[in-house]
Amino acid sequence: MKKTGANIAVYALEQIGIKYTFGIPGVHNIELYDELNNSKKIEPILATHEGGASFMALGVSCTSDTVGTLMIVPAAGTTNAMSGIGEAFLDGIPMLIISGGTRQDSGKHFQLHQLDQGNLVKEITKAYFKINKHEEIVETIYKAYDIAVSGEPGPVFIEFPVEIQMFKGEISKLFPYQKKPKKPKTDHKKIKAAAELLIKAKNPGIYVGWGAANATSSIKKIAEILGAPVATTLQGKATFPASHPLHTGFGFGPNSVPASQKAFKNCDAMLAVGVRFSEIGTGSFGATVPENLIHIDINPTVFDKNYPAKISIEADAEDALKLMAESLEKLTKTTKTDRTALEKMIAEEKQKYTAEWKQKPLKDKVSPGYFFEKLTKFTHEDTYFVVDDGKHTYLAAELLPVDRSRHFVSPTDFNCMGFCVPAAIGAKFMNPDNQVVGIVGDGGFLMTGLEALTASTYGKGVVYFVFHDGELGQISQFQKIPLKRKTATILGDIKIKGIAEATGATYLHMRNDSEIEDTIKKAFAESKKNIPVIVDVNIDYSKKTYMTKGVVKTNLNRFSFSEKIRFIGRALKRHLLEK
């Protein structure tokens, strides 16, 4: 039979369960868009920028079982989308990128958008494919999907030359997708050895990340058997419920809150699952990891990179932790761990730390402590929270309790500003009946805030809280502490209300602590009308998070004695003598 390449491609995308594509049509993909328009299973979504489209696709993948998919033009569309593709690659999030391609049958050079896309994307994708004939389209899309979701997930790029999209070609048959992704087999002997090591420890600890997001029930069981505190990465913040009495918070080193620091102070054996021990999670590698480290990850290349492991286990986290829980239950049939003192300490330290952020209510600004307290009051266990990169990220990490896995979404190792606004839209597409809350700094909002138009156009009632301080808050604070400078971190005088009006969003202004509760109530009421809401929050950033303090201290301690004296001396001179 003969079919156009565009028709075949849409068939294959339907078979793997794609529900939405995100992007912008152009001369190199209009045939694909025309076929998407005929599909009863896939809706093409128009973004204002391919970068925003790529973040929407991430929001889809992070909050559903569907793989976020881009539909873009080559070259300019690809470079625009690379921020989201890079985020997917470094954060381990599946994504499919369907790109048009220049004609291969014309023999002409210097075509519009003509460049080697394989070389362009090779550093930020798991695989790249270029379609050469109609017969290989279905198989290539299925293979790309399998690669995207197998092992450590990530983005896969497929290029479709224009002539293959447009013209009909001979194919033998169309065939449905059959699941092919394989998991590595878990080494039972290593699981048993790891369980024995944990049982012998006096103060075991557990550290989990996004890679363990599907294994929350087993993590709970293991923590309760061992009486072990549980800390998370930033990306995996929701992997273990904040309401559990053994949950300590984000991180366990100098960058973590007191509950984590105290709970892990004498940790002599650690179970780390679905984590890389990356810079953000360890507070610039300032965390101390015990010699008895058990590291479980589906990607074996992460082992021993920053912290050597006593036992490394290549495995799917869900499978491995189920076996680990079973092994620990057998080893502890006659014993019971007393968790009372540890749980009491964690609860007290959490309460004290939260109280630090709620001193006297402010009349001229919004206190983070009161803000997150009220936000928690008006949200639910099934609310999705999406953050950006910045000062607000670590405030949310420390002050926002989240109980359900995959319900806190953040840019992490690629750490790209501009993530929140579009990613929240992607999450809302896949979870239309859930509250979706975006928390974003004004700097990140300036990068992709116009995507609120996409939310308005498609009737997505996302609520955005824009923490507005007029600065690139995290970096300006890093500058201010040692340098008493704010070089190129002061933003222009942005009128957020104007952006809301321009994009069809409802605008609300939260000026001080007395307005927090009413404003949040109004925001969620407005969002039920299926329109986005932008809340301009006059945030107080004067108090530093433990992440900020911990990273500064850790890096200063790495300096040589002479450089440390020079930096401290310069800071003292500027803070004491300069007006």
Give the separation between CA 193 and CA 312, rounded to whole angstroms.
11
pLDDT bracket for residue 212 (50, 70, 90): very high
Residue-wise pLDDT for 98-130, tens only, equals 999 988 887 778 776 779 999 999 999 999 999
pLDDT of residue 180: 78
Please state the pTM of the whole predicted model.
Answer: 0.96
Strands 168-170 and 2-4: antiparallel
Residue-wise pLDDT for 280-319, tens only, equals 999 999 999 999 999 999 999 999 999 999 999 999 999 9
Q: State yes or no: pLDDT of 209 exceeds 80.
A: yes
The answer to whether the beta carbons of residues 305 and 272 sit under 8 Å apart is no
Average pLDDT over residues 412-430: 96
Residue-wise pLDDT for 54-74, tens only, equals 999 999 999 999 999 999 999
Percentage of the chain modeled with pLDDT above 90: 85
Give the separation between CA 499 and CA 60, rounded to whole angstroms.
25
Dihedrals phi, psi of 458, to nearest 5 degrees: -100, 10
Residue-wise pLDDT for 143-173, tens only, equals 999 999 999 999 999 999 999 999 999 999 9
212 DSSP 8-state letter:
G
53, amino acid identity: A
Residue-wise pLDDT for 524-568, tens only, equals 999 999 999 999 999 999 999 999 899 888 988 898 988 988 888
Q: State yes or no: pLDDT of 416 exceeds 80.
A: yes
Q: State yes or no: pLDDT of 334 exceeds 70.
A: no
Long-range contacts of 521-524 (CB under 8 A, 24+ apart): 521/378, 523/463, 523/465, 524/378, 524/435, 524/463
Question: Where are the alpha helices (H) located in 29-72, listed in sequence order?
Answer: 30-38, 50-62
Residue-wise pLDDT for 2-48, tens only, equals 999 999 999 999 999 999 999 999 999 999 999 999 999 999 999 99
Residue-wise pLDDT for 228-266, tens only, equals 999 999 999 999 999 999 999 999 999 999 999 999 999
- Structural domains in the chain, sorted by start: 2-170 (3.40.50.970), 188-344 (3.40.50.1220), 357-546 (3.40.50.970)
pLDDT of residue 333: 77
Q: State yes or no: pLDDT of 210 exceeds 80.
A: yes
Enumerate residues 6+ apart whose C-beta is below 8 A from 274.
Answer: 208, 209, 210, 211, 212, 213, 215, 236, 239, 296, 297, 298, 317
- pLDDT mean across residues, the chain: 95
